[in-house]
Amino acid sequence: MSNHGKINGGKIWQALYVDNPRVFEKKEQEDKSGFSVDIMIDGSSSRKNSQEFIAAQVYVLAKSLERCNIPCQIYSYCSIRGYTVLRIFKDYSEQKAGKEIFKYVAAGNNRDGLALKGAGHLMEHSPKEKRILVVLTDASPQDDQSATEGAFYKNNEYTDELAIKDTEKEIHNLKSNNIQVIGIFMGSERGTIAAKEIFGKDFVKIETIHQFSDAVGRILQEKIRNIN
């Protein structure tokens, strides 16, 4: 109700007898997207054969979130020569998803734990209180650099159970910071076991990358209903 707009005949008496001018109806757009979505893509060499399809699927997803007025960040991660690199294709301040996403290139290894830690820092800039992180992964974190430094740790390569535990720990830290983490898993049967250990129940298995945007859409709708 407002003091201007489309008059509501049933309310006119209030203007005449109780001096209430709010006898008009006016539509206002209400921002109900009380959350933001981050999409983090595995950018290691294991994705090299499907990188164009990944970029296309992420672009579709970004456009869908854009039309729903949901703030979104998109970035990939990989590990090259001892450095974990996060490449940002879109941040919260950009209203529209551009073609920067199609510059996605897969190379190197994947140190998932460190990448998730970086995602946590990026999500601190979210304009929304509630945050969702979607991770495209094969649940096979590995890096050619040692997991720790020093003469006594040379055999501790970042792979297998050590890497899985590190990734699981960082997801736990994100959840402790009120960030919902969803894994979109595409990998081997062995990787399915690792995905369950890393994400618990919060992951969806897809058979091909063409199912990525649909899978994310379904699980986001479920999370949104829970949030509301």
Q: Which fold would CATH assign to domain 35-227? A: Rossmann fold (3.40.50)
Q: Which helix (H) or strand (E) holds 110?
A: none
DSSP one-letter code for 205: E
CB atoms within 10 A of CB 129: 9
Tell me: the pLDDT tens digits for 66-101?
988 899 999 999 999 889 999 999 999 988 878 899
For the chain, which residues make up each domain, given as ranges?
A: 1-29, 35-227
Q: Which residue has the higher pLDDT, 75 or 3?
A: 75
Tell me: the pLDDT tens digits for 53-67?
999 999 999 999 998
Is residue 135 within 8 A of residue 187, CB to CB? The reply is no
Residue 206 burial by CB count (10 A; 0-12/13-18/19+): exposed, middle or buried? middle
Is residue 170 within 8 A of residue 121, CB to CB? The reply is no
Would you state the pLDDT for residue 13? 85
Would you state the pLDDT for residue 227? 66
Spatial distance between the Cα atoms of 99 and 131, rounded to a whole number of angstroms: 24
pLDDT at 156 over 60: yes
Could you tell me the pTM of the whole model?
Answer: 0.80
